[in-house]
Structure 1
Amino acid sequence: MKHIPATHTDFILEREFAATPEAVFRAWADPEVKRAWSDCHAEHTTAYSLDFRPLGREHHEVAYPDGRVQVIDKVFFDITEPRRIVFAYDIGVDGRRLSVSLVTVEFSPVQRGTRMVYTEQLAYLDGHEDRAQRLRGTEEGLDRLAGVL
């Protein structure tokens, strides 16, 4: 088998929300609210759970009409209410792990509400790469978060 080295990238997204840091933080912590803004494939989701605590997990499964099954598993490492969330997650399709990420989300008060900084560091595995799609999907989720708040 040919060795394909992992590739790495990162991105940072900044948003301001007209809500308190506590309210924005709660939108990450409450399972129903989180699913409402973060689930970009809601019509195909077959399983979802959120255990929002240090070393807790979030699990999301999507069964696409073409038969592919995507699984996203997260582990929360640092939760400092209402300032910071640090988690790692992997994405797999049909049992093949595509990427592993480390994410830091920081919340700070500003005059009009909350400034949120989302920093993601990605390791792509075995030749997979979808940076533009990942960035677009994350931006769309944060747009939905603004709508929920």
Structure 2
Amino acid sequence: MSHVPTAHTDFVIEREYAVSPQTVFAAWADPTAKKRWSDCHEEYTTHYSMDFRLHGHESHHVDYPDGRRQRIEKVFFDIAQGQRIVFAYDISVDGRKLSVSLVTIEFLPTSHGTRMRYVEQLAYLDGHEDREVRLRGTEEGLDRLGLELSAGAAAH
């Protein structure tokens, strides 16, 4: 069996939200809110749970109609209320681990609300690589977060 080197990449996404850092942070910390804006395959999700605390876990399982089974498992390593979240996660499909990531999210106050900075560092395993798909999916999730925050702000 030949060795396939691990590939590494990263990306940074910044978003501006017209709500406080505490409000944006809460959308990441509340399991119901987080599932609502982050789940891009809701109709196929078979399991979702989140224990938002230091060393707590978040699990997201998706069973697609074509038979593929995707599993995402996260662990929270740093939580600074209203300021920062650091977590690591892995993705596997059909039992094959595809990647492991370290993510840092910072919530920075601005005169108009919050600048959120999302930094992901990825290690792709055994020849897998999907940087553009991962980047696009993350951007779409953060766009849904923006819609969720706007809807909440409009309701108040």
TM-score bin (small chain): over 0.9
* Corresponding residue SS for 1:19: coil
Could you tell me how far 1:2 is from its partner in structure 2? Answer: 1.2
* Corresponding residue SS for 1:119: strand
Matched residues in 2 for 1:31 and 1:76: separation?
13
Instruction: State the one-letter code of the partner of 2:125.
Output: L
After TM superposition, the structure 1 = structure 2 runs for residues 93-108 of structure 1, keeping only pairs within 5 Å, are: 93-108=93-108
* Corresponding residue SS for 1:139: helix
Could you tell me how far 1:73 is from its partner in structure 2? Answer: 0.2
* Corresponding residue SS for 2:53: coil
Alignment partner, residue 5 of structure 1: 5
* Corresponding residue SS for 1:4: coil
Could you tell me how far 1:131 is from its partner in structure 2? Answer: 0.2
After TM superposition, the structure 1 = structure 2 runs for residues 31-46 of structure 1, keeping only pairs within 5 Å, are: 31-46=31-46
Alignment partner, residue 140 of structure 2: 140
* Corresponding residue SS for 2:27: helix
* Corresponding residue SS for 1:26: helix
Query: What RMSD in Å do the two structures reach over aligned CA positions?
Result: 0.4
Deviations 1:18-63 (A, max 9, x none): 1100000000000010001111111100000000000000000000
The percent identity for this pair of structures is 68
- TM-score by structure 2 length? 0.95
Q: After the TM superposition, which parts of structure 1 deviate over 3 Å for at least 4 consecutive aligned residues?
A: none
Instruction: State the one-letter code of the partner of 1:110.
Output: T
| Unmatched segments (≥5 aa) in structure 1 | none
* Total equivalences in the alignment: 149
Matched residues in 1 for 2:132 and 2:89: separation?
18
Matched residues in 2 for 1:129 and 1:14: separation?
23
Instruction: State the one-letter code of the partner of 1:73.
Output: E
